[in-house]
Amino acid sequence: MGKMTKLILMLLLLFFLSSHAVASERYGYGLGYGHGYIGTSSEKFVTGIVNAATGFVELPKNIVLTTHKDTVVHGMTIGLVSGVMHTVARTVIGVFDVATFFIPTPPSIQPPFVWQDFSVETSY
């Protein structure tokens, strides 16, 4: 390898490691896996797998939330449609997080898991 190629690779490595350390401090998932690149990447991988596997729980969650907020009729109609949309979104984002776990980013979904804050609607 040429000197220029080595220099570029070293600068890229330094950039990625420093930016990921800052991202993990600011936007940590809070699961207790640790800080830094490896900790944040592993948290993103785990939450991605869990969200892809449990996205279907958004359906009953949204039906219940809408029923409590409005009426049973709204829960069975608007809550059902909202639940389907949130199910697809959580599952797709989970798959995307698994595919891009090597780029540690802040959580795309709040709450990070469907069972956390079950009485709060999911936001993205």
Quickly state the pLDDT bin for 25 (edges 50, 70, 90): very low
CB 114 within 8 A of CB 122: yes
Angle at 50 between CA 44 and CA 51, to 5 degrees: 85
Angle at 83 between CA 79 and CA 89, to 5 degrees: 150
Structure tokens at 22: 């800052």
What's the pTM? Answer: 0.70
**C-alpha span between 1 and 12 (Å, rounded):** 16
116 burial class (0-12, 13-18, 19+ CB within 10 angstroms)? exposed
Q: What is the pLDDT of residues 26-72, one digit of tens each?
A: 444 555 555 788 888 889 999 999 999 999 999 999 999 999 999 99
Do you know the residue count of the chain?
Answer: 124
**What are the phi and psi torsion angles at 4 (to 5°)?**
-65, -40
| Widest CA span in the chain | 69
pLDDT reported for residue 20: 45
